[in-house]
């Protein structure tokens, strides 16, 4: 009787899958860092109600949260080269559209997608801080920027940390969509390996376990950071 799983095949493909784990982590890390900048900027624009920029930020968040990530990836992949080609033909811009690596479009799409969600998290965290703290900072001679950087943001980060961790884990899993535009990460590698012997079930089990292991590790790291953040908050209160 044929066994349900080919364990030898599953063990044999583990190194091949692990080989592309750095690609998955690279997409996750780069997109998360850029998204934090986008999210913070968008949140501050909305908090301080910057004219025109506030409406554009609200439109960006609404569109991003209201459309699937896969659609956004395709819009970036097919739309950006089309816009660059238009600029090249009509304005003489010297742009090598064909030389853009596919991973750049993944960075772009993931950054804007995650940035929209982080913006709401950051905005809620900043608004959760007592406004009197900023007033106190201004009263002792700090600028608004100094008060935000030294007093408000450290507390907001402590509040938002659990949400940041959840977003980071979700981003790790969402990188599986990158293969849709030929970026070979873990899921892409799984499809390639599975197609060789039509053993997709075994390959997907291996990939699922590796994803799970990475996410567990991230959860542990976030838990440690949360503990330290709570100690920081306790020290400040004392």
**Predicted local confidence at residue 4, as pLDDT:** 72
Of 24-33, 83-92, 199-208, the range with the lowest mean pLDDT is: 83-92
pLDDT at 176 over 90: yes
Q: What is the pLDDT of residues 119-174, one digit of tens each?
A: 999 999 998 888 888 888 888 888 888 888 888 888 888 889 999 999 999 999 99
Residue 235 has pLDDT above 70, yes or no: no
Q: What is the pLDDT of residues 224-234, one digit of tens each?
A: 988 887 765 55
Give the Cα separation of 115 and 33 in Å (integer): 9
Half-sphere exposure of residue 168: CA atoms within 13 angstroms, side-chain side: 23
Which tokens sit at 100?
Answer: 């853009």
25: exposed, middle or buried (Cβ count in 10 Å: 0-12, 13-18, 19+):
middle
Cα–Cα distance measured from residue 43 to residue 124, given in angstroms and rounded to the nearest whole number: 9
pTM of the model: 0.89
Give the span between the Cα atoms of 1 and 224, in whole angstroms.
48
pLDDT at residue 64 greater than cutoff 60? yes
What kind of fold does domain 7-237 have according to CATH? MetI-like fold (1.10.3720)
pLDDT in tens, 198-218: 889 999 999 999 999 999 999
> What distance in Å separates the CA atoms of residue 35 and residue 68, rounded to the nearest whole number?
17
Residue 155: predicted pLDDT = 86
At 7, the pLDDT band (50, 70, 90 cuts) reads: confident
């Amino acid at each position: 009787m044929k066994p349900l799983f080919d364990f030898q095949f599953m063990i044999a493909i583990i190194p091949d899958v692990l080989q592309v784990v750095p690609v998955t982590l690279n997409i996750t890390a780069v997109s998360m860092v850029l998204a934090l900048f986008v999210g913070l900027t968008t949140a501050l624009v909305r908090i301080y109600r910057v004219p025109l920029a506030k409406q554009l930020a609200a439109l960006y968040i609404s569109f991003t949260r209201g459309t699937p990530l896969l659609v956004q990836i395709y819009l970036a992949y097919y739309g950006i080269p089309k816009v660059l080609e238009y600029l090249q033909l009509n304005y003489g811009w010297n742009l090598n559209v064909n030389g853009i690596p596919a991973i750049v479009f993944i960075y772009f799409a993931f950054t804007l997608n995650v940035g929209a969600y982080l913006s709401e998290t950051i905005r809620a965290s900043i608004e959760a801080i007592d406004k009197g703290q900023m007033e106190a900072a201004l009263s002792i001679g700090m600028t608004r920027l100094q008060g935000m950087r030294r007093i408000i943001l450290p507390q907001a980060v402590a509040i938002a940390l659990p949400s940041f961790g959840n977003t980071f884990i979700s981003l790790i899993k969402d990188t599986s969509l990158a293969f849709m535009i030929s970026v070979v990460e873990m899921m892409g590698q799984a499809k390639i390996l599975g197609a060789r012997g039509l053993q997709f079930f075994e390959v997907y089990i291996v990939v699922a376990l590796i994803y799970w292991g990475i996410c567990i590790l991230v959860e542990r790291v976030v838990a440690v950071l949360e503990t330290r953040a709570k100690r920081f908050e306790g020290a400040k209160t004392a």
